[in-house]
């Protein structure tokens, strides 16, 4: 065969491989550029680096020591007694009356019995609440396989403290009930340093439960100004304007680990099954897909996560107001092109909304309690929230949904401090959810005339 023909045939046969090599080279370069964005910001890019962001507290200051002891007692009690009694509120399916109404006698008796059974656990929870730092023993080397059993336990601990607050409210022990609510908030704040998205969502859920019972506390009792101020301080700590940033940075690390550990491997179909994909269609075809495709898939994932991290780092409340514009520079069509990113990208927009609701609840509660302190001093409610500055607040907090000061309504029926809510409209302080759906406004409502401040 002539040499020229041999060269021609070799060139033709090698064209597909040359194209794949070129594609892989381009994908590798683009992926390196995305990873450089992460490292140039000083952010962790591996699970080992993420673990370093979660250091041990000094000896004797870790609330997890008391919490873990409480969790062991919870497990032992569950094995002995089974699930909580069905008619109990919060921990089971018992329905609470309106916040300004007393608890039914049978419900109160059941709560008192349940609290007596869990007295040792409650004592440990209060001891944990006195410590300002917390770190649980997490194995970051497991990546997405990391076990997080403490999350469910913390939610139960918050419910238990909420029941204690209810019992103390009914007994007229206003200031003691306030301490129970502070401890309940601290259960959520035990997750403050945990750089994991699901931990942040549990933190939000725990704090939401505590705020809901604070409405009952302030509507049913007459706490002292000092007790009001203590709970305000706990609410201010919970209203963390950077709440979402650490969650986004941590979630991005988990995603990077998924690609590097499971996806960019020759046997990726098997690795996908290990990841939790119940069925991998055409596993042989998945394994034959060039690595360049999955590198481009990872590029898209990092584009989305980097955009959300950048938004989360903006000053409050702009970090929430800009959430809908986070992906403006990323073509929407790419979401359908890359199936791994579609599998592992969380509903980030909804996560931001959850954080907005959290900020609105905590800040509204804090301002409402400051208004009660104003009434205790002046004998009347403030005409507007500006009257609380600077004697009771440094400034009126901003609505995380529109960036304006929180709204305020007061009258014979009580007072409400609120934010607009997800619909972006002022619905006049309607903070109670309809029979089906979500409350149009997010805030904190006190009912008269039960509490006579």
Name the residue ranges covered by the structural domains of the chain. 57-238, 240-346
Q: Is the pLDDT of residue 72 over 90?
A: yes
Q: Is the pLDDT of residue 281 over 60?
A: no
Mean pLDDT of 140-162: 96
What pTM does this model have?
A: 0.91
> Looking at the chain, how many residues does it have?
453
Mean pLDDT of 282-297: 78
- In the prediction, which pLDDT does 5 show? 41
| pLDDT tens figures, 231-271 | 999 999 999 999 999 999 999 999 999 999 888 887 776 66
- In the prediction, which pLDDT does 9 show? 40
| pLDDT tens figures, 88-136 | 999 988 999 999 999 999 999 999 999 999 999 999 999 999 999 999 9
């Amino acid at each position: 065969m002539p040499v020229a023909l041999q060269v021609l045939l070799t060139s033709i046969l090698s064209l597909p491989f040359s194209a794949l090599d070129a594609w892989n080279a381009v994908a590798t370069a683009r992926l390196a550029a995305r990873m450089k964005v992460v490292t140039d910001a000083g952010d962790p890019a591996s699970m080992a680096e993420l673990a370093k962001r979660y250091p041990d507290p000094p000896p004797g200051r870790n609330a997890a020591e008391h919490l873990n002891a409480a969790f062991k007692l919870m497990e032992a009690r569950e094995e002995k007694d089974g699930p909580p009694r069905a008619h109990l509120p919060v921990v089971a399916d018992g329905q609470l009356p309106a916040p300004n109404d007393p608890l039914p006698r049978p419900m109160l008796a059941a709560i008192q019995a349940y609290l007596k059974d869990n007295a040792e656990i409650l004592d440990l929870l209060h001891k944990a609440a006195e410590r300002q730092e917390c770190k649980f023993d997490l194995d970051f080397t497991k990546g997405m396989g990391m076990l997080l059993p403490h999350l469910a336990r913390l939610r139960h601990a918050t419910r238990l403290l909420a029941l204690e607050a209810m019992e103390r409210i009914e007994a007229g022990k206003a200031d003691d009930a306030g301490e129970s609510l502070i401890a309940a908030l601290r259960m959520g704040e035990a997750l403050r340093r945990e750089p994991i998205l699901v931990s942040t969502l549990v933190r939000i859920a725990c704090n939401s439960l505590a705020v809901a019972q604070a409405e009952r506390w302030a509507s049913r009792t007459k706490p002292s100004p000092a007790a009001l101020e203590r709970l305000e301080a706990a609410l201010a700590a919970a209203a963390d304007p950077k709440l979402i940033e650490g969650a986004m940075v941590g979630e991005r690390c988990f995603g990077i680990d998924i690609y590097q550990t499971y996806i960019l491997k020759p046997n990726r179909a098997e690795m996908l099954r290990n990841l939790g994909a119940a069925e991998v269609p055409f596993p042989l075809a998945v394994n034959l897909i060039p690595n360049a495709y999955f590198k481009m898939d990872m590029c898209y994932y990092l584009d989305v996560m980097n955009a959300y991290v950048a938004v989360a780092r903006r000053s409050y409340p702009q970090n929430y107001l800009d959430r809908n514009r986070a992906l403006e520079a990323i073509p929407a069509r790419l979401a359908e092109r890359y199936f791994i990113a579609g599998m592992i990208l969380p509903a980030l927009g909804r996560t931001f909304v959850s954080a907005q609701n959290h900020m609105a609840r905590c800040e509204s509660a804090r301002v409402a309690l400051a208004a009660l302190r104003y009434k205790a001093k002046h004998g009347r409610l403030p005409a507007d929230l500006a009257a609380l500055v600077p004697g009771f607040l440094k400034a009126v907090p901003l609505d995380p949904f529109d960036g304006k000061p929180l709204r305020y309504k007061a009258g014979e029926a009580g007072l409400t401090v609120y934010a607009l809510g997800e619909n972006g409209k002022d619905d006049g302080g309607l903070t109670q959810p309809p029979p089906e759906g979500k409350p149009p406004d997010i805030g904190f409502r006190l009912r008269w005339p039960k509490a006579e401040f």
